[in-house]
Amino acid sequence: MAKTRISISLEQDQAERIRQHAERAGMDVSAYLVHAATRQMAESDAIEEQFAEVDALIARAERAADGLPAEPPSESAAELTEQERREVEEALGLVEGRHRQGRRPGHAA
């Protein structure tokens, strides 16, 4: 397979640190940079794969939100019942990490 040359620009101190790390790893600078980039790409690919379903869910929610009216509900909209208000507060507490006693789980009062 034919090789391709890529030119990069970096600060002198960065270049020296890369040379030192490559030497300690027993590699030349090119091999060291290819190895580092390949590891980073594999990590990024794994993260993207792991979160693909979440990203798709967010995209669907954003598309659905685009269809909602831009104006706030009119004043004639029904107020929340006391039960609905408690459920909203409980849900917000879970989102914010608060325990039922007003503390975050695992934290002392």
Structural domain boundaries of the chain? 10-67, 80-109
Query: pTM of the predicted model, to two decimals?
Result: 0.52
Q: Of all helices (H) and strands (E), which one includes residue 55?
A: helix 52-66
The C-alpha atoms of residue 91 and residue 98 are separated, in whole angstroms, by: 10
pLDDT band at 87 (very low <50, low <70, confident <90, very high): confident
Q: What are the pLDDT digits (tens) for 55-65?
A: 898 888 888 88
The answer to whether the beta carbons of residues 19 and 29 sit under 8 Å apart is yes
Q: What are the pLDDT digits (tens) for 10-35?
A: 999 999 999 999 999 999 999 999 99
What is the identity of the amino acid at 66?
D
Tell me which of 1 and 94 has the higher pLDDT. Answer: 1
**Strand ranges inside 11-80, DSSP E:** none
